[in-house]
Amino acid sequence: MEPFDLLRAVLIVAAAYLIGGIPFGVIVAKVSGGPDPRTMGSGRTGGANTMRAIGPRLALLAGLLDMVKGTVAVLLARALGAGVEVEVLAGLAVIIGHSRSPFLGFGGGRGVAPAFGGLLAFQPLIALAVLPVFIGVILVTRYSSLGSLIGSAMAGILMVIATAVIPLDPWMYLYALGGWGLVWLFHKDNIERLLAGQERKIGTPRPEG
């Protein structure tokens, strides 16, 4: 890689991380006059906790904006002609930025929305196939985390299959497995609570004390 290309790649990935760090859950809450989601529930800024703080409609808006972050990061790399490898790294960087935001003391969400946004940019048909599974699991179980875990796993598996069969650029393996792995990593505490039968369902009041 030429020095200019390397510098461009580094700047794009850094920009993707900063884009990912934009805390739309907090911004929408402040603009609407609602409570900061960091003061409620899990203290995260993702969809489920933002919904607890400001309700489903505004949480949906924040979630859509978080999703767009993933799409924008990938399309930015594509528009600058940086190559598929940089697109993939940007897609992963935006997930990390969302969950470890430099604007929130390296807190944030779980990475689901920007990961889905990146998937839309790479393989929109796979994204559309995963969406009803994600929503269905949440509606049936009322566990937002379980929908995210199953949806991200399905997305990763389908991306691996598509990369091998179509075939896609081999760098897509990294996005498939890396995106899946990051979402699961940022759900570590949820996984522990699910296994222990202690995960809180959507609509369940938080215990006092």
Q: Most distant CA pair in the chain: distance in Å?
A: 58
Q: How many of the other CB atoms lie within 10 Å of CB of 201? A: 12
What angle in degrees, to the nearest 10, is found between the helix axes of 24-32 and 47-54? 10
Q: Which residue is associated with the tokens 């929109």?
A: 124
Label residue 9 by pLDDT band (50, 70, 90). Answer: very high
pLDDT digits (tens, 9 = 90+) for 153-196: 999 999 999 999 999 999 999 999 999 999 999 999 999 999 99
Per-residue DSSP letter, 83: -
* Spans of all domains in the chain: 3-101+110-196
* pLDDT tens-digit map of 36-57: 999 987 889 988 889 989 999 9
> Over the Cα atoms of the chain, what is R_g?
17
SS3 category, 101: strand
pTM of the entire predicted model: 0.94
Nearest by Cα to 161 from 187, 180, 147, 145: 180
The owner of tokens 């996984």 is: 191
